[in-house]
Chains A and B, each alone.
Chain A
Amino acid sequence: MKARAFSYFRAATIDQALDARARAGDDARFIAGGQSLVPALSLRLQAPRLLIDITHISELRGVRREGGYLRIGALTRHCEMLSEPLIAEFAPLLHAAAPFVAHPAIRNRGTFGGSVAHADPASEFPAMTLALGAEIEIIGPSGGRRVKADDFFVDLFETALQPGELITAVFVPLFKADQRFAFDELARRRGDYALVGCGMLATSTGERIDDIRISFFSVGNTPTRVKGTEATLIGSSLGAERIAAAQAALEGDLAPPDSDEVPPAMRLHLARVLLGRMLGRLGERA
């Protein structure tokens, strides 16, 4: 299929992008890596009149430390998650998740901001922003703000972004010496969207878990933090019994959707297996 005809504008600055968007109204879309948008255009699932290319806006690029955070520019490509030393050091969970995101050709173009804005519940990075306690920096016609990842993902492909707003960066709290992380997913083929996936970040004193954030993807309409499950783990070490309790608690946190290939009960089972294996590994690293 071929996309319907559209106009194209390449913005050089954030102001230009916001301005073009304001003038064109809802018939315009920002385009970053295009790895989600272009397929949607080709399938005619979306047919905007205007594409505003944001990839030449330098303010949206770059990774740097800012206070207690790593500021990751919206245009940071998936492949840079693998190659950028600051990410490996201060946001190792993103570094660990990146190889599971699609294939090299897609990672070369797809952007962090695009992935978070698109908010596919099967995507790795949006779920990782939850596990990391990240904050999304947004700019729009009425100014800028920062939204906690916990408040960002609203429903299926629906986020706190208002029409015409742009993600400029994601702020990730710097990884600390007393923290451990784990990432894994179950996908039929390498690079596929997972049947179920999970990322976690724990802060501990010795073997005791002081705090843990666990986030799943491919389990519902949004990336999902499993707070009930987290609660079963806080204050104790990761022994077999605790892990089993956490696995049992998942049922209260997840309500997987009906799907013809992966029935809800199966997805819940897979989430339990994955959680058990990841907590086991996290425990071994204590």
Chain B
Amino acid sequence: MSAPLTSLDRPNSYIGRSVPRPNAKRLLAGRGRYVSDLRLPRMLHAAFLRSPHAHAKIISIDVAQARALEGVHLVAIGADLAKICTPWTGTLDHFKGMTSAPQLPLPLDRVVWAGQAVVAVVAESRAIAEDALELIEIDYEDLPVVADIDSAREAGGPLINPGSGNNVCFRSQLDNGSVDDAFAHAAHVVEEEFCFGRHTAVTLEPRAIVAEYDPAAGALTVHHATQTPYQFQDLYSRHYGIPEARVRVIATDIGGSFGMKLHVYHEDMAVVGLSILLGRPVKYVADRMESFVSDIHARDHRVRARMALDAEGEILAMDVLDLTAIGAFSTYPRTSVVEGNQVIRLMGAPYRFKNYRATLEVIFQNKVQTSQYRAVGHPIACAVTERLVDMAAVKLGLDPLAIRAQNLIADDAYPQTSPTGYRFEALSHQACLKRLHEIMDYDALRAEQAELRKSGVYHGIGIAAFVEITNPSPAFYGVGGARISSQDGAILSLTPSGEVRCLISVTEQGQGTEAIISQIVADQLGLAQEHVKVITGDTEVTPHGGATWACRGAGIGGETALQAARALRRNILEIAALILQEQPSALDIIDGEVVDAGTRNQRMPISEIARIAYFRSDTLPPGTQAQLTVSHHFAPQGYPFAFTNGIQGCSLEVDVETGFIKMLKHFIVEDCGRVINPMLVDEQLRGGIVQGLGAALFEECRYSETGQLVNGSLADYLVPMPMEMPDIVIAHVETPTADTELGAKGCGEAGTAAASACVLNAVNDALTPFNATINSIPITPAKVLKALKRF
């Protein structure tokens, strides 16, 4: 199925090649420049006093002592910032009927989660600002706290937003008919309730921002650790009334984002306002403790689902209810309902069946906001679907791989529309399944499992097929009224010495965007990769575009770069043809040299073309104007999303006395279309899988009944660490999308999408001899021991 775009043995053939990322050495040498490294002249530091209550009225705030402390420049409360910042509301038009309360940088009279910033202090240093926080007195009056799904849905229970009739943010239904009928006539029905804990991103670099308002120029510059500088340029401009052209957002080196760094955070908005009030640069870096109570969380779903099958094991229908509890409001500007929406639309996505019904209810509660985090909705839809498939397999006495082979959509059946309404261009489930069987040495694993059971060692094998949403079109946000671009732009210039500068709107957070863009440009132009410099993340310099969200850097940004490089190549060859008195079509560029297309004989270095065009244009034929800078924008067309697919497998051991789980090995076969840099794709898959394993085994934001986060530190919130992670075996199938020349789709979320589902299935597989089941993640020792009735 592999369809090479260029042959790899041609010089400068970088597409498909594992080349190291150009910025790796700089970052490893400690030469990165992160926002927290920034020290601007006259810069001050902000710190925030946070609410200890999950829900309370603010009776009074006394800041007199804090203001008087030496070194303190400003103490601001909600009303101070409300004067200069307009409120925002986290709803989108295409989510019909959704509601959310307007928000301000700091609250006026009510706090709605424990950890919400209430007062801002700006001082000479962060330490002084924190000293001042200790001098502030706030009088609160407790309000009833809504701390879980059940109390939020209780009739007559406490309300989070006074004036609303209930705590519902959004309801949605999908029904393509005949579901009741299908279940009534099914030979087999499996049904279960699943719980998915809250977790959060835990980036190496926390959120960081330096806002610098220059009152003389009326201009705002924000150095911001964000994935989406253009989105924030627009937001800062609109909410603070500064013309867009005078707002510059710079996002250079960023230490991970995973979707966490593209939402509006109250502190970030406040810092911009504080800088405007002071006319000085203001810096704020969230510390780890603050991050836990203010970064977005994700998941927090309870799903009841059932699946109907015929006597042979053919899946007939699914029926799903997803209840998901978000924060006290919906996140701006991307909302908090996208995850639930994707959960109900990705259910059953790899399988061929007809009848589907789903209800989604998104509920407010007094916790920090939730929103999009790596693999939005995928792990939930995948775990529910794949667990039901395994339950069905047990019921029917089928092997987990056999029931999947029977039901996965055939590779020659495309285009296909899923029962939930997604349109698939071309997927490769069956090929991936076959490959997984081989790389796992599945039959040997099963034999070993049976053998070990005899001696009281319990291995489990888990399989999970998945579909990933990538290359989103405006159908994702644009149609809902959000000013979030789904297109990208690139500007390419040939420099006077014959190198190429590429300014592009996709951004780099450590995933290697700049590496693949330079590969594509060098490949298409016929240059050594080191002669391409890629510049990202500065709204003043790079063209407007979507930047980094969902999975789009390679698929959309890559195509933009490819088209721009082809345009520049045409222009270079046009000038070369004039100088060499040839037809442009008779020429090519290889390794920075213009050559005869047929013989590959060198004719002239492109540095010479640049020299002539820039310094001796008088020697060109009259009327020639060399265009050695080109710009190109590309917006996805055709399918609204480029879906990808794959399948994961794992083997693990459950210690049935301690409840501890040891990951033994993890496997993935993935199809992201054209692979631009195999090494980077593999690293994306590995990283994604590790995040999925974190969710499966370790990560959970645990709350008390009063809405307090009880494990908000890295000592108590467990992230996956190398010692516990298994080796990960990777294989690829390549089905390029025909919607672009490049053919690339995304791969950043594939690992996370199915890793937790795999573990869930494997643990249940291991527990089969005990008649014990687990249907909630994370799967902690306590849950395993409970299921085994060991205490």
Question: Which positions in A face B, CB cutoff 8 Å?
Answer: 1-5, 43-44, 186, 188-193, 195, 260-263, 265-266, 268-270, 273
Contacts and interface: CB of A to CB of B under 8 A. Distances in A.
A260 B703 CA distance: 10
**10 nearest CB pairs, A to B:** A2-B127, A190-B723, A269-B791, A265-B791, A273-B657, A266-B791, A189-B721, A2-B126, A1-B287, A189-B724
Contacts of A270: 658, 781
Nearest to A266: B791
Given A4-B127, A189-B724, A268 B791 contact: yes
A5 B127 contact: yes
**Among B658, B698, B715, B724: residue with most chain A CB under 10 A:** B658
A3 B782 contact: no
Interface of B: 125-127, 130-131, 134, 287, 289, 657-658, 660, 698, 702, 704, 710-711, 715, 718, 721, 723-724, 780-782, 785, 790-791
14 contacts: A1-B130, A2-B125, A3-B127, A188-B660, A189-B724, A195-B781, A261-B780, A261-B782, A262-B782, A265-B791, A266-B781, A266-B785, A269-B790, A273-B657
B289 A186 contact: no
Nearest to A277: B657
A86 B775 CA distance: 51
A282 B442 CA distance: 38
Given A2-B127, A261-B711, 19 more contacts: A1-B289, A4-B131, A5-B127, A5-B131, A43-B289, A186-B660, A188-B660, A188-B781, A189-B718, A190-B723, A191-B721, A260-B710, A261-B780, A262-B782, A263-B782, A269-B791, A270-B658, A270-B781, A273-B658
A2 B698 CA distance: 28
A273 B125 CA distance: 51
B702 A261 contact: yes
Contact of B785 (A2, A44, A190, A269): A269
Given A1-B289, A186-B660, A269-B785, A192 B718 contact: yes
Give the secondary structure class of B's interface. loop
A195 B716 CA distance: 12
Given A44-B130, A260-B710, A263-B791, A190 B721 contact: yes
A188 B698 contact: yes
Contacts, number: 58
A125 B723 CA distance: 22
Contacts of A186: 658, 660
A180 B287 CA distance: 46
A75 to B, nearest CB: 25
A273 B791 CA distance: 12
B702 A2 contact: no
Nearest to A265: B791
**Among B125, B134, B724, B790: residue with most chain A CB under 10 A:** B790
Contacts of B782: 261-263, 266
Contacts of B718: 188-189, 192
A265 B130 CA distance: 41
A143 to B, nearest CB: 38
Contacts of B711: 261
Contacts of A260: 702, 704, 710
Contact of A190 (B657, B715, B724): B724
Contacts of B785: 266, 269
Contacts of A261: 702, 711, 780, 782
A120 to B, nearest CB: 11
Contacts of B131: 4-5
Contacts of A2: 125-127, 130
A27 B629 CA distance: 67
A5 B70 CA distance: 14
A223 B417 CA distance: 62
A233 B277 CA distance: 73
Contacts of A5: 127, 131
B264 to A, nearest CB: 24
Contacts of B704: 260
B553 to A, nearest CB: 31
B723 to A, nearest CB: 4
A240 to B, nearest CB: 15
Nearest to A196: B658
A4 to B, nearest CB: 7
B28 to A, nearest CB: 18
A188 B724 CA distance: 9
Nearest to B790: A269
Nearest to A186: B658
A158 to B, nearest CB: 21
A192 B714 CA distance: 10
Contacts of B126: 2
Nearest to A47: B134
Contacts of A273: 657-658
A144 to B, nearest CB: 35
A189 B723 contact: yes
Nearest to A44: B130
**Among A2, A4, A273: residue with most chain B CB under 10 A:** A2
A1 to B, nearest CB: 5
**Among A190, A260, A262: residue with most chain B CB under 10 A:** A260
A5 B780 CA distance: 41
A249 B652 CA distance: 33
Nearest to B722: A190
A274 to B, nearest CB: 8
Contacts of B724: 189-190
Contacts of A189: 698, 718, 721, 723-724
Contacts of A268: 791
A191 B721 CA distance: 10
Nearest to B710: A260
A1 B781 CA distance: 32
A51 B790 CA distance: 48
Contacts of A262: 782
